[in-house]
Structure 1
Amino acid sequence: MDTDDRAGRPGDDRDDLRRQVLDLVDPLISRFSPGRGRLRLGFNTAHYDNAAAELEAFARPLWGLAPLAAGGGSFDHWELWRTGLAAGTDPEHPDYWGAAFDRNQRLVETAALGLTLALAPEQIWDPLTGRQRDTVAAWLRHAVTVEPNDNNWLFFPVMVGLGLDRVGVSHDHDVNTARLDRLEEFDLGRGWYTDGPKWQRDYYIPFAMHYYGLIYAALGDDEARAGRFRERAAAFAQDFQHWFTSEGVAVPFGRSLTYRFAQSAFWGALAFAGVEALPWEVTKGHLLRNLRWWADRPIRDTSGLLTIGYGYPQPHMAEQYNAPGSPYWAMKAFLPLALPAEHPFWAAKEADAPPLPDVSTQPEAGVALMRCEEGRHVVLLSAGQHAPWARHGAAKYAKFAYSTRFGFSVPAGTFGLEQGAFDSTLALSEDGLHWRPCELPHDPSASDGVLYARWTPWDDVEIETWLVALPPWHVRVHRIRTGRALRTAEGAFAVGREQPPTRVDTGPGLARLDSPHGLCVIEDLFGRQEGTFVTALPGTNVLAPHTTIPTLTGDLPPGEHLLACAVIGLEAARGGGGGWPEPPVWDSVEPLLNRAPTGVRTSQEG
C-alpha cells in the first residue's frame, strides 16, 4: 500500500492513528471564522443556537488533537485553536461564545477544553497573554458553577476542573466532588451504569460514563474513586466485547450513532487509565479493527468533512442535538495517542478477537447478543429499552433485533409499511394504513438468552413478547389480547437492494430472500401468516440506503392470539446452493420460554 492509500487509514501503530487525526482535522482548517473562535461547517438545525454549534465544531476536534500533542505528535495549526480559545471566551470579542448556563450545550463542549488544558497546556495555554489567560480562566470557572443535566453531563465540569488544576487556576472542588458522588449513584453492578435516572443502556455507557471516569482515574487526585472507576470499567469490558464482531464492526443501537467510531473509544480509554481488562493485544485489536472498518465507510463529504448519519450521510436519523460539528465526538477514539510508544498498549502486537460464547445475556441492559457465522455477524436482541423523548426513539431502542450486517431502520412516516420501515419489529394497524410498532415496553427481563417485555399499543390491546436467542436464528413469540380487530406485520431484517436478489420465496408462513447483500428468512412457526416483501423508502436504514424487508402479515379478530416466528440473517448469501436454512420448531422453543418470568401456555390460540 503506498503512502497516499494509507492516508487517514489506521493500521497497527501510533503513527497510523496520528495520520488519521491529521487527515480528519485538515478539512477544518479553512472553515475558521476570521477571529478563529468558531468553526463554521454548515447550516445548524440543532436545538441550540449558532454560537453553541460553532463552539461545538471548534471544541470536538480537540478530543483527538490534545492526545496527539500529549504523546509528542506534531500539528502545525495549534495557533488557530489557541487564538480561538482566547477569542471565544472574551466578552468583548465578536467571536465570543456566550457564557455557559444551566443545562446548556456550551457546557458539553467545555469537557474537550478541559481535557486539552490537562493534556496539552504548552499548546493551548502557556503561549497566551496574561489578559487572555484571565478571560479563559474566568469563562471556564463560571462553567464549573452551572447546573448540568443529571446524567453523564455531570462529568463535564469535572473535566474542566482537571484542566484548571493542571494550569494552576483555582475553582470550587467541592461542587465537582458532589457531582462525582452523584455519578457513582448510577452504578448498576457488573460494570454497568445508567446514564442518569433513565432506562437507556447504550453507547453512552462506554463512550461517556466509563470514558470520562477513566480520564478521571488517570488524572484525578482521589485514588479511592479512581480505583472504583477502573474496577467497573474492567468488569464492563467483559460484556462490551460481545458488541463487536470478530472483524471490528459494532452493533448499531440507540441514539447518537452519528458519533460513529466513538463507539470504540472505551478501548483506548482503558489503556489511558492503565486498565488491562483484557490482554493488551486484545484491547488494541478491538480499537484498531473498529477504526479500520469505519475508514472504509462513505461517512465524509467531498471536502472531507464528517457527515451526519451512520453508515452514510443520513440526516433523517439525526438527533435534535446534532449540529454540523457533532460527528467530531468520534475523535474520542484517539485518546491512547497520549500514551508513549513504549506503553504496553502500543508495544503489544494486535491480536485477533478471542473466541466468545454464542450468546451473552446482559440483564443490566435488557439485551442478549448472538454471535453468528463464527463471530463475523452479531445480532443484539432487545426488550425493555425505550426513549420516547428521542427522535425515532422507538426504532433506536424498542425493535427486537439490531444487526452488524443489516443495521436497523428508522421510519419515514406511519402511513403504510413502506414509510414505517418495520424491520425487526411487530407493527399493528386498524385500517392497514396507519401502523403502531412496539414503542414503550414494560416489565422487562433477560435471562439465559430469553428476553421478555409487555407493551400496550392501545388501551384495549396488551402484548407480551418473548425473544429467544438460538444462533444464528432468533425466535419471537407474542401473546396478543385485543379488544379490536387488527392487522399485523412483522418484519425480519432490512436487506440491501442495490444488487438484485439471487432467489426469493414467499407464501403462506414464510418470506425468504437471498442476495449479494445477505440472506434473510422469516418463518411463521404456526404457518398462519402470509409472507411478503416490503420495499422500504430510501434512506431509512442506517447501513443500506435502499432495502427490502421480508415480512409476515396477518389479521386478528378481537380475542387472544399467539404468534411465533423465527428469523435468521446471514452475512454470506448462499446463491441458491444448499437449500434454505431450517428454522427451529415450536416444540423445541416452548420449553425455553420458562426462563422468562411469565411463560406461554402450550395451546396455540387462533
Structure 2
Amino acid sequence: MAYYSKFSENPMRTRTDFQTLVRDLIAPVAGYIERQGARVDFDEGAAVYPMASSSLEGVARPLWGLIPLTVGSGDDCGWWTLMRRVISEGTDPEHPDYWGPTQSPSQHSVEMAAIGVMLMAAPEAAFVPFSDREKDNLLRWLEEIQHVVLVDNNWLFFAVLVQEGLRKIGRADLIDQELQDRYIQRVSEWYLGDGWYGDGPTLPVDHYGAFAIHFYALLYVHFARDPKPALVKAFRERASAFLVPFSYWFAETGEGLMVGRSLTYRFAMAAFWGMAAVCELDGMSPGQIKGIWARQLRSWRDKPIFTADGLMTRGYYYPNLIMCEDYNSPTSPYWAMKAFMPLALPEDSAFWQAEEEPLPCPDKVYPMPANNTIAQRIEGHSVVHYGAPVRADVQPDKYNKFAYSTNFGMEINALQYAEEFRFGDNILAFSFDRGINWQMRRSNSFSRLDGRMLSLGWSTGEQDVETTIEVADDGSFIRRHVFELARPAFVVESGFAVDQWYEEAEVLAPEPGAAETRLLMQDCDRDDIMKTEAVIAVRGANGLSAIRSLDAYPKFAGAARRTHTNLSAPRTATPFLLARLPAGQHTLTHKFRVSSRRDTDIADLLD
C-alpha cells in the first residue's frame, strides 16, 4: 500500500490547491494513455465486462476532472490534444483500438455520460478541433445509446447527458426527445421526498441518489443548452431539499457514511456538494457547502489508496478487492473525479470566496421518514439506523445491516467466517445446525418510522423476525427482536467493528483483558461461558464499541477477529452476544453504545 505525496501533501484549501490536485491525479493516468492509447490498461486485473470497457473508463473518467478545470481556467495542461487523439481512436471502427459499439446493456453507456458532458461544457476545447470524419465517428458512436436497453436506474440519465451534449453542438436532429422525456419521468418515479431518491424501481438508498441522480440533474440545470424550465425548477427544488438531510451522512471531519455499493469511487461522495455550489442552491450558505465538500476531500489525505506510481486503487480506506463489485475495473475508481465540478466556478465566485463553515447538523437524532432511516449524531460522527430496502443483487452487507457509520467501517461477507464464530457487524443471524451454517437478513416485509423508533419486518428466507430500534439523545440505541423458532437455534447479534490494523483491539468488558472472548465449536455446550446480563466492549484505533444484554437469556460475549473484510481497516474486532435458544417465541433485547474517543470512560459507555 502506498501514499501519493502529491495528494497527501496538498493542503486542499484554495482553488489553486484543488486545480493542482486535479492535474496531479490525472497525470499518472495520462502517462498510461500516452503510452497505450485508447486501450489503456493498468495491469491490475479486470471486471466482469470486456477489457475494452475498462480501457474506455480509463479515458472517460478523468474527464470529470479535466472538464471543470478547463471551464474554470482554460488550462488543460495540453491534455485535450491527448484526449482527443484517444477518443478519436476509440470511436473509429477502423482503428485497432476501437472500443466497439454499445450494447444492451453495456458499460460503454456509463462512460458516454462523461463525453456527453464534455460536449455540453467544453466543446471548443474537446470537440471543435476534431476533423469532420472524427466528428462523424464520435457522434455515430454516441447516439447509439438511444437504441440500446439501459439498466433501469440512474443509467437512464446517461442517455440524457449524451443528448444534451449533442444539442449543445448543434446536432439536435440526432436526439430522440420522446426517449428523453420518458427517461426523466421514469427517474422522477423514484423520488421519495425530502430530497431522497431510490436508485431504481426497488428504491435502494445509497450514495447513487447524490453522486449520480442529483449530480446528473444539476449538470442538466447548469450546462444544458435549452433546459426545460419545469425540469430546472423540479431538479433545483429536490436538490435544495436534499442539502440538510444528506449532510447527516457526513462527519464533522468530512468522512462519509459507509453504506451501499460502489464505495470504491471514494471522494465521489463530494460530487453532489460540488454541483450544489455550481448551481448556487438555496438552503445552505456557500460556506456550509464548501466546508462539507472540502472536508470530504481532505479526509482521504491520510489513506493509502494509491499505487506507488500514483494510480488510485480499488477498495475504500485501503486496497481491497473483497469489498468491490464485479463491475469495478482497475480504472473504475476515477469516478471520484466527479468531485471537482466547483473548479468550473471563477475565483471571485461566492463559493471560492467563502470561508468554510461547520456542518449544519444540530439534531442529535434526525429521523428521515422519506427513506426509513434515523441519523444519530455521536461525537461529531453519524450512525444511520437503516430501514431502506435490502438490495439483493450486490453484496447484501451493503444494505442489510441495522446501522452504518461514518467512523466504523462495515464488514463485507458478514457470515464468511461464521462457522468459526467470527461475525461481521450489526447483524442478527441464526444457525439451526449448531453453528455450521448461518442466515441473516435478506429482505424486508415492512419498514416503518415513528419518531425515533424504526420498526422492521424481515426474513432470512427461512426465519421471520420483527425488529424495533429505539434511538436516544445520549448516543445509545436499543434493538429488540421478536421471533418464533420452529426448532432450536444459535442466535447472534453484533455491534460495530473496531480497527485493530496496527495494534490489537482491547477487550474492556466484561473485564479488562478478558481472555475468553473467542468461541470454539467444542465449547458450544458449556454453560459456564453463558452469562445473564452479558456485556462486551472492545476498543480499537477508531474508538469503542459495546453491547449489553437487557433480557434474561444467558449469552456468550465475544469479540470476532476478522481480516480484509472491513472497509476502513484490514484487521478488525467485532463485539457480539450469542444465545442458545430452544424452539418457541423469543424476544432478544440489546443496548448499544459507540464512541470515537479512545479515552471514553468504559463505565460511562456501558451505563
Provide TM-score, normalisation by structure 1.
0.91
Aligned-pair distance for 1:43?
A: 4.3
1:184 aligns with 2:209: no
Match of 1:89?
91
Q: How far apart in 2 are the matches of 1:342 and 1:106?
A: 37
SS at match of 2:480: strand
Match of 2:518?
none
Counterpart of 2:102, as a letter, is A
Q: How far apart in 1 are the matches of 2:489 and 2:10?
A: 51
Q: How far apart in 1 are the matches of 2:506 and 2:582?
A: 37
Q: How far apart in 2 are the matches of 1:113 and 1:360?
A: 39
Match of 1:315?
321
Match of 1:68?
69
Match of 1:31?
32
Question: How many pairs does the alignment contain?
Answer: 575
Which of 128, 135, 138 in structure 1 is aligned with 2:137?
135
1:214 aligns with 2:218: yes
SS at match of 1:317: coil
Q: How far apart in 2 are the matches of 1:6 and 1:63?
A: 17
Q: How far apart in 1 are the matches of 2:37 and 2:554?
A: 62
1:166 aligns with 2:165: no
1:292 aligns with 2:294: no
1:547 aligns with 2:572: yes
Alignment of 1:48-447 (within 5 A): 48-72=49-73, 73-170=75-172, 171-174=174-177, 175-220=179-224, 221-373=227-379, 375=380, 377-390=381-394, 392-393=395-396, 395-411=397-413, 414-416=416-418, 421-430=423-432, 431-447=434-450
Structure 1 stretches lacking a partner, 5+ long = 584-606
| Contact 2:166–2:175 (Cα < 8 Å) also in 1 | no
Q: How far apart in 2 are the matches of 1:282 and 1:161?
A: 33
Aligned-pair distance for 1:475?
A: 0.8
Match of 2:480?
477
Give CA-to-partner distance per residue, 1:432-458, whole Å, 9 cap, x none.
121112221221112212111112325
Alignment of 1:456-471 (within 5 A): 456-459=459-462, 461-470=463-472, 471=474
Counterpart of 1:444, as a letter, is S
Aligned-pair distance for 1:22?
A: 1.1
Counterpart of 1:289, as a letter, is R
Aligned-pair distance for 1:539?
A: 0.4
| Contact 1:419–1:537 (Cα < 8 Å) also in 2 | no
Q: How far apart in 2 are the matches of 1:384 and 1:213?
A: 23
SS at match of 1:182: helix
Counterpart of 1:381, as a letter, is H
1:495 aligns with 2:498: yes
Give CA-to-partner distance per residue, 1:210-263, whole Å, 9 cap, x none.
000011111232121111100000001121011111111111001111011111
In percent, how many aligned pairs have the same letter? 35
Counterpart of 2:212, as a letter, is A
Aligned-pair distance for 1:353?
A: 1.9
Aligned-pair distance for 1:9?
A: 2.9
Counterpart of 2:42, as a letter, is L
Q: How far apart in 2 are the matches of 1:81 and 1:399?
A: 42
Counterpart of 1:330, as a letter, is A
SS at match of 2:439: strand
| Contact 1:114–1:162 (Cα < 8 Å) also in 2 | yes
Give CA-to-partner distance per residue, 1:339-363, whole Å, 9 cap, x none.
1112211121111223420111112
Q: How far apart in 2 are the matches of 1:36 and 1:169?
A: 28
Match of 1:45?
46
SS at match of 1:32: helix
Counterpart of 1:63, as a letter, is W
Counterpart of 1:311, as a letter, is Y
Counterpart of 1:574, as a letter, is D
> Residues 33 and 147 (structure 1 numbering): CA distance in 2 closer, same or farther, change over 3 Å?
farther
Aligned-pair distance for 1:479?
A: 0.4
Match of 2:522?
none
Please provide the CA RMSD for this pair.
Answer: 2.0
Provide TM-score, normalisation by structure 2.
0.91
Give CA-to-partner distance per residue, 1:131-183, whole Å, 9 cap, x none.
11111111112223323222111110111122222222231241223222222
Aligned-pair distance for 1:527?
A: 4.5
Counterpart of 2:448, as a letter, is S
Counterpart of 2:436, as a letter, is L
Counterpart of 2:303, as a letter, is R
